[in-house]
Structure 1
Amino acid sequence: MLFLQLFYTFFKIGLFSFGGAYSMFALMQDEIVYRQTLMSSAEFLNLMSLGQLTPGSTCINAATYCGYTVVHNAGMSDGMAVLGSITALIALLLPSFIIATVFCRLLMRYVKSPVMLSIMSGLRPAVVGLMLAAVSFGLFNKENFSSLDVNPWYFCVNMFILIASFIGIAFMRISPIRMICWAAFAGLMLL
């Protein structure tokens, strides 16, 4: 039953995720952590971070880790947890595969039609909104930054790393890989 629930959940996430990883993370967190309580918020944020740090697509990595963790948390063996990873991965990718195959054929036929252009224009702001929601509500929390009340040093160091990373990538055009390495080093030295 857990595998069917995993398949359904990740199929739904894959079906309604427009805009890439950050919009998908918002849906993933809502479904897995808040609605179905299959894992804690701290576990999800750790897996999301791990998904971003490992090579490959962050969405695919996070779904794979989530599938494994959910099955492992249910008390099943590591072999079954690997099956949970595979289930989540296939379920996440299947809607994209189906939609891309169908849309590719339709897009080639109706690429210049006003209806298709209107649909694509309507999707763009929704995608930006999903990404902002994922960043603002999903990531700015006590698990990632602590709070001034609980641990002022941890909070200030994390805010410094956040601001320095943003300025470094957005304005100074420093490589994100280099910023990740520097942030890890700063965390190691300061936290």
Structure 2
Amino acid sequence: MELLFSLLGNFLQVGLFSFGGGYATIPLIQEYIVEGQGWLTYQELTDILTISQMTPGPIAVNTSTFVGTRIAGFPGAVFATVGCVLPGVLMSVALYYFFRKYNGIQGVSDVLAGLRATSVGLIAAAAGSILLIALTGSSELGQGSGIGAATAGVFAGMLFMLRKWKWSPMLVMAVSGGLGALLFGVLGL
């Protein structure tokens, strides 16, 4: 039971401080779950994030559910998900009434502008961590196994397909999965 309440507490913090949406939760989950508690490795978190991207629903909710399941089974999934979602629900209700009452005040707009800028920074930090883990196996610069040619090629190719030819993300994931199975499974690169 202590583990479940620890999951709840950690994900309450993630939900409470994840301004900017789902991707902004990634650095927080990394800090609390991987670095703070040591419940997962960076690679396990990256795998969970990958699966969370491919399943329907918000990435923060999916990630908290998968992390909770990995750590404490179904009860862990429930506690982690409730912890992640509850602060947002309560804040949304409170902010609805606040903004309805103080809609035209300049200070409120200034605070929101600062929060938007912070959200972009959090998302960029999360993207950088995921990119490093995917390419090198470590979230730290200069650590890990180095960038393999096959990994870099798949990354660059799929980025090109997304940006130049506007491939569907589902198609990119399917092709990437197939290439991964071929390159890393069959050919052992």
**TM superposition shift of 1:163:** 1.7
Matched AA of 1:65: F
**TM superposition shift of 1:164:** 2.0
Root-mean-square deviation over aligned CA pairs: 1.8
Q: CA contact under 8 A between 1:63 and 1:92: conserved in structure 2?
A: yes
Using structure 2 for the length normalisation, give the TM-score. Answer: 0.86
Q: CA contact under 8 A between 1:26 and 1:133: conserved in structure 2?
A: yes
Residue 43 (str. 1) matches residue 44 (str. 2): yes
**TM superposition shift of 1:34:** 0.6
Q: Percent identity?
A: 24
* Uncovered stretches (5+) of structure 2, i.e. residues with no partner: 138-143, 185-189
Matches of 2:115 and 2:94 in 1, distance apart?
18
Q: Deviations over 1:120-158 (max 9, x none)?
A: 1111111110011111124412xx2247x9587xx2122
Matched AA of 1:67: G
Q: Deviations over 1:69-111 (max 9, x none)?
A: 112xxxxxxxxx2011000001100000000000011112222
Task: Name whichever of 128-137 and 18-27 sits farther off.
Answer: 18-27
Q: CA contact under 8 A between 1:29 and 1:138: conserved in structure 2?
A: no
Q: 1:179 to 1:63 in 2, by over 3 A?
A: same
Residue 145 (str. 1) matches residue 135 (str. 2): yes
**TM superposition shift of 1:190:** 2.1
Q: Aligned with 1:140: secondary structure?
A: helix
**TM superposition shift of 1:172:** 2.6
Matches of 1:68 and 1:138 in 2, distance apart?
21
Matches of 2:22 and 2:5 in 1, distance apart?
23
Aligned to 2:152: 159
Q: 1:138 to 1:150 in 2, by over 3 A?
A: closer
Residue 172 (str. 1) matches residue 165 (str. 2): yes
Matched AA of 1:174: W
Residue 32 (str. 1) matches residue 33 (str. 2): yes
* Uncovered stretches (5+) of structure 1, i.e. residues with no partner: 72-80
Matched AA of 2:49: M
**TM superposition shift of 1:25:** 1.0
- Residue 182 (structure 1) aligned to one of 162, 175, 179: 175
Using structure 1 for the length normalisation, give the TM-score. Answer: 0.85
Q: Deviations over 1:21-74 (max 9, x none)?
A: 221111101110011111222221111111111122221111011011112xxx
Matched AA of 2:53: Q
Q: 1:46 to 1:112 in 2, by over 3 A?
A: same
Matches of 1:48 and 1:85 in 2, distance apart?
15
Q: 1:16 to 1:150 in 2, by over 3 A?
A: closer
Residue 108 (str. 1) matches residue 100 (str. 2): yes
Matches of 1:165 and 1:97 in 2, distance apart?
36
